Structure 1
Amino acid sequence: MQILGIESSCDETGVAIYRESAGITAHQLYSQVKLHGEYGGVVPELASRDHVRKTIPLIKAALSEAKCQPQDITAIAYTQGPGLIGALLVGATIAKSLGVAWNKPTIGIHHLEGHLLAPMLEENAPEYPFLALLVSGGHTMLVDVQALGAYQIIGESIDDAAGEAFDKTAKIMGLDYPGGPLLAKLAEQGDDSEKRFPRPMTDRPGLDFSFSGLKTFAANRIAAANVDGQEPSGQASANIARAFQEAVVDTLAIKCKRALKQTGRKRLVVAGGVSANLKLREQLAELMAQMGGEVFYPRHEYCTDNGAMIAYAGYCQYKSDKLDVGHEIKVYPRWPLSEAV
């Protein structure tokens, strides 16, 4: 069995092939970072056009990498949502068209389920049940995962996601797009002389997140460091970056600890773009060691949007007989994970 996976939810075109007996046999990824960098953020129309240009060549490259032909593909999985509607339509249209041309079934995949299952591609894969922290530019949520398709959201962001707060703060600091990873890199040069940043919503019960106020606090500290219209010094910027990152990481760790105690889980899965953050990985590893549990991550290339996670999720759905019916093209720009089962 071989599943072709297509990811096109935002600004990265990902194509991969998952083979039941061998795992991922092809992984192709094209990032639009340079395209959108000029504008300081993703331009949806440009993203859609670039997916049109890149998806078919990447599919051809993936087939060549996996040394297989279209007739060897069992089914085609694609990201059905959530995401940018134009970008989603490109991937869905191509998947459905190939399904007709190759006489193969298609499988619409929830983008967040793809991230959630990405650690399953590692040699040390977690067993069900587990607690999942999905943390990216668009989403921050805690999910109690009882089994494949059995997902209960027990906490989520009520405004900016953690990755979004990273990117917006980096933009205020004058860092290039995408700024989150650059801010994390700058934080490595900081010291602890900067004023302590708040850990939002940790002084009250509950598992929800809020990072909008933290972003505003950072903006005020950046403005305070701007003397006589001059940009903050390199060290001042690094100190602010460090204080901001520590606040985000501490907040995520505190909420994870609460959720682990509430659910009784001993396994923690961390996925999404921010899961690549080294400070977050270090702190959550310490937390799980203290709690006698274990933490699982996807490898770095599977943290951001990619076709491998869609191909694997497609394999899981195919095994569960969850296939698209008919040739109608449907995408869901807003699609709660709880409704994907």
Structure 2
Amino acid sequence: MLGRYVLKRKAALVGRRGYRALALESSCDDSCIALLEKLPGEVPRVIDQEKKTLNSVAFGGIVPTEAHNFHQSHIANLTSDFCRRNGITPSNPPDILCCTRGPGMTGSVSAGLQFAKGLALGWNRPLVGVHHMLGHILVAKLPKSEQKHIPEPEYPFLSLLCSGGHTLLVLSRSIIDHEILADTQDIAVGDAIDKCAREIGFKGNMIGKELEKFVDSIPTDLKESFQSIRTNNSDNKFKFQLALPLRGPKHKKIPEAVTFSFTSFLSSLRAYKEKHFKGLEIDLLTKQFLAYKVQEVIFDHILDRINICLLKYGSNKKLYDQASGEMIGVKDFVCSGGVASNRRLRQKLCAELNSKSLRSDGQNERLTFHFPDISLCTDNAVMIGVAGMEIFEQLKVRSDLSIVPIRKWPLNEIMSTGDWIEFQEEEFKRIMAVKGTDDN
């Protein structure tokens, strides 16, 4: 009897068929491709992925025209090699295609989107145009190597999206219901970190990561001494002033609109260099101090704004089910985007917010933090595939092939573009088909 059960179980497993998605991401300077498979009721499985990144060191930063040319030069060959490696052919295509539609640099997005349209047309497969930031949010649903036993976040949850192009605190009630609680009023945190690191003297393509490595290499006792030095004013050993933005008498404790602001970090650093170094190279000890303090205070600013949001929205003004009117609580917190790979930011978030929650009953309950694997924090095609598959399954829609890139696409307006097409039930079932099993 046991033998017959094992054989029947094996037959059932063999009979199950997941659908496959080929995903492309090209919103900035990374040409990315991934192949994912999803079985019914399970999270997507990453079969393969690859990325090529433009080397922008010679340009001193990302130049949109150079990024566009980079994608045009590499995305076709990258896809050709990738498909050959994974057995993807015109007679064995993926079931759906997912591609970044925006937000992002128009030229970069266009290179990937137009190529994806060609594949969709040539293979006769549906295309899902994906919101880049939704990808960053939903990639947290994948199993994490460092958080193996933590289940995926449940709606409603909060997300801190921090990258070179965005800094957002978002309340997500569903895949298409997102409310932006805080946005940046100037530049994004990743952009600020890169520019500050360059001012301090760092060079490279992943300059924010170089800053993090440098700070990590500072001896612990030296970092502890740096931590004790206050920079609210210049009355300190290094005569360096770096205060938290949007604080002080002229700013309300709880403003009408909560925002991040990062330009003052760069201006403070430039003024300091001009006054104390006048074009000379910064000595090692000062470089260590500046690197440590800039990273630390930038992250303190992020935490300060999150705490203000918790005060502003924690009185159940936002956290209710609009359909039933019942109060609900937030128990999950996602941190994603390129800057989310910074382990110091992760430590500070957990330490500061660990005992807080937005429970509707007023009870304290620790937030569960979700940090995607480091490799999935920076731009990648896996996150685009995950988001595209969610849109396909939950909303049963695809994109019309007339879609164009959207440079600025509010996260709370994903479905307002007017070019989504509902799947016919037969086509949807065909893609989601599960082969029958022999129970005899």
Specify if TM > 0.5.
yes
Aligned to 2:209: 181
Structure 1 residue 60: Cα displacement? 3.0
Query: Is 2:45 the counterpart of 1:23?
Result: yes
Mapped to 1, the partners of 2:34 and 2:45 lie a distance apart of 10
Aligned to 2:379: 305
Structure 1 residue 288: Cα displacement? 3.5
Mapped to 1, the partners of 2:279 and 2:93 lie a distance apart of 63
Structure 1 residue 72: Cα displacement? 3.8
Seen in structure 2, the aligned counterparts of structure 1 residues 45 and 229 have a Cα distance that, compared at 3 Å, is closer
Query: Is 2:114 the counterpart of 1:39?
Result: no
Residue type of the alignment partner of 1:26: D
Query: Is 2:329 the counterpart of 1:255?
Result: no
RMSD: 1.9
Give 1:14-93 correspondences, 5 Å limit.
14-21=32-39, 23-32=45-54, 34=55, 36-70=56-90, 71-93=92-114
Mapped to 2, the partners of 1:302 and 1:50 lie a distance apart of 22
Aligned to 1:12: 30
Residue type of the alignment partner of 2:167: T
Give 1:75-224 correspondences, 5 Å limit.
75-123=96-144, 124=150, 125-177=152-204, 178-188=206-216, 189=218, 191=223, 192=226, 193=229, 195-196=231-232, 197-202=242-247, 204-206=253-255, 207-224=258-275
Residue type of the alignment partner of 1:322: V
Seen in structure 2, the aligned counterparts of structure 1 residues 266 and 218 have a Cα distance that, compared at 3 Å, is farther
Structure 1 residue 284: Cα displacement? 0.8
Aligned to 1:324: 399
Structure 1 residue 235: Cα displacement? 1.4
Q: Is the 8 A contact 1:3 1:315 kept in 2?
A: yes
Mapped to 2, the partners of 1:260 and 1:60 lie a distance apart of 48
Q: Secondary structure at the match of 1:269?
A: strand
Q: Is the 8 A contact 2:200 2:290 kept in 1?
A: no
Structure 1 residue 194: Cα displacement? 7.1
Structure 1 residue 289: Cα displacement? 2.4
Q: Is the 8 A contact 2:93 2:123 kept in 1?
A: no
Query: Is 2:345 the counterpart of 1:280?
Result: yes
Residue type of the alignment partner of 1:253: L
Structure 1 residue 214: Cα displacement? 2.1
Seen in structure 2, the aligned counterparts of structure 1 residues 202 and 276 have a Cα distance that, compared at 3 Å, is farther
Higher mean alpha-carbon deviation, 144-153 vs 18-27, is at 18-27
Aligned to 2:282: 232
Structure 1 residue 96: Cα displacement? 0.5
Mapped to 2, the partners of 1:238 and 1:224 lie a distance apart of 18
Structure 1 residue 66: Cα displacement? 4.1
Q: Secondary structure at the match of 2:192?
A: helix
Structure 1 residue 67: Cα displacement? 4.3
Higher mean alpha-carbon deviation, 279-288 vs 65-74, is at 65-74
Mapped to 2, the partners of 1:23 and 1:67 lie a distance apart of 17
Structure 1 residue 242: Cα displacement? 0.8
Q: Is the 8 A contact 1:202 1:251 kept in 2?
A: no
Which of the residues 367, 378, 386 maps onto 1:293?
A: 367
Seen in structure 2, the aligned counterparts of structure 1 residues 194 and 237 have a Cα distance that, compared at 3 Å, is farther
Structure 1 residue 297: Cα displacement? 1.1
Structure 2 unaligned spans of 5+: 1-18, 145-149, 233-241, 315-328, 357-365, 416-440
Residue type of the alignment partner of 1:78: C
Structure 1 residue 293: Cα displacement? 1.2
Higher mean alpha-carbon deviation, 47-56 vs 102-111, is at 47-56
Q: Secondary structure at the match of 2:210?
A: helix
Higher mean alpha-carbon deviation, 108-117 vs 211-220, is at 211-220
Q: Is the 8 A contact 1:222 1:240 kept in 2?
A: no
Seen in structure 2, the aligned counterparts of structure 1 residues 60 and 168 have a Cα distance that, compared at 3 Å, is same
The structure with more helix, counted as a fraction of residues: 1
Q: Is the 8 A contact 2:273 2:279 kept in 1?
A: no
